[in-house]
Amino acid sequence: MVVNKINFTQPLPIAYVNRVRAIGGVRQVTHFNWFGGYYQEPKNFLIVMAVEPESYLQVYQDQIDVAAEARQAFIRERTGVLVGEAMLKKWGWKVGDRVPIMSNIFTQRTARVPGI
């Protein structure tokens, strides 16, 4: 794993993707950016990662169990989000819901649980 020397919340320049990919022994590269998100109010903090869907799912394929249909919907839907079952149940979300995820960092205000 390669991260910014300051801390993981500081992204590397996207141009570094090809530099990292060129390092011997590197099998796969993805890019993601953590940001402090929340649902409805700041006290409902969420751990949110903005990712490049295809490469992220390839790198973490052994750690994330995603049905093929959900995988394709996530890749296709630009505002799509993958959410675990526990979070779906906690907030009462359903596949296809528009979910307002706010942040003090980014201004895009909604994500969509992709339809399957």
- Residue identified by tokens 């205000």 is 109
Weakly modelled stretches of the chain, pLDDT under 70: 106-116
Task: Return the pLDDT at 53.
Answer: 93
Task: Return the pLDDT at 110.
Answer: 56
Task: Return the pLDDT at 104.
Answer: 76
Domain ranges (residues) in the chain: 30-112
Question: Cα–Cα–Cα angle for 87, 33, 81, nearest 5°?
Answer: 35
Task: Return the pLDDT at 72.
Answer: 93
Q: Which two tokens stand for residue 88?
A: 């779906």
Task: Return the pLDDT at 107.
Answer: 63
Q: Which two tokens stand for residue 57?
A: 């799912």
